[in-house]
Amino acid sequence: MFKLFHKDGEHGHHQHHEHKCGEGCNHDHHEEHEDHEHDLGEDKIVIIPPKKELHFAEFLELFPAIELPMTLSTDAQRQISDVQEPLNAAWMARFVLEEEQIDEFTEFMACFSIPDTKKYHAIVYWQASLEGNAFFLATFSKAGNLLDHRLIAGTLYLEDGMKQLVCSIGKDWTIHRVEGMLGANGEIIKVDDPKITFMQLTLEGEIIED
């Protein structure tokens, strides 16, 4: 079971995350459609900056803390989407990416934050584009400046199939990423020596790779 948690005030306790909407809600809501399935090819996202000023503290609130360890895969994306809303691209353009890196075919979703980072903030978000869909880890200074940014899991579309990346994030902030290949019809292509990448989130917010 995938569970998201918010810290309960100054007491440091956790409670289940339940999305509620009201005045000042930061999520980008869509009007009701007959079909809730989103088609990247037909229903394009229009990137319109919000009328209000974007604040880093409000951006962080979109990423509830999660209990580690955590495995990120296609199943995890479906579970997160059950409790999280689509993320307005303007938030990403303000704090994470350059505007030219975002187009009308790109979708984002806030996933979670890494707990107990003291000198910085670390968040995981999901991005879908024409090249595939992926989870990214991003770290920020307390002032909201981007420190590091890394692809950690997802599915990337290739000419002859798909590259599948699955990762696990440990309680010690180690990240193990396993890379596999899928054929054009989704079949698993077996290899004798699958590529495994080891990453570490440091105390200073750097994402280092062995």
**Residue 55 counted as domain residue:** yes
**Residue 11 counted as domain residue:** no
**Residue 14 counted as domain residue:** no
**Residue 30 counted as domain residue:** no
Distance (Å, rounded) from C-alpha 131 to C-alpha 83? 25
Instruction: Provide the number of structural domains found in the chain.
Output: 1
What is the distance between the terminal CA atoms of the chain, rounded to a whole angstrom? Answer: 31
**Residue 31 counted as domain residue:** no
Distance (Å, rounded) from C-alpha 158 to C-alpha 20? 39
Between 34 and 90, the higher pLDDT residue:
90
Assess whether pLDDT exceeds 60 at residue 131.
yes
Residue pLDDT, tens place only, 15-41: 334 444 444 444 444 333 334 333 433
**Residue 18 counted as domain residue:** no
CB atoms under 10 Å from CB of 54, counted, come to: 15
Parent domain of 176? 48-203
E-only strand ranges, 22-101: 65-66, 70-72
**Residue 29 counted as domain residue:** no
Between 125 and 14, the higher pLDDT residue:
125
Distance (Å, rounded) from C-alpha 169 to C-alpha 42? 35
**Residue 38 counted as domain residue:** no
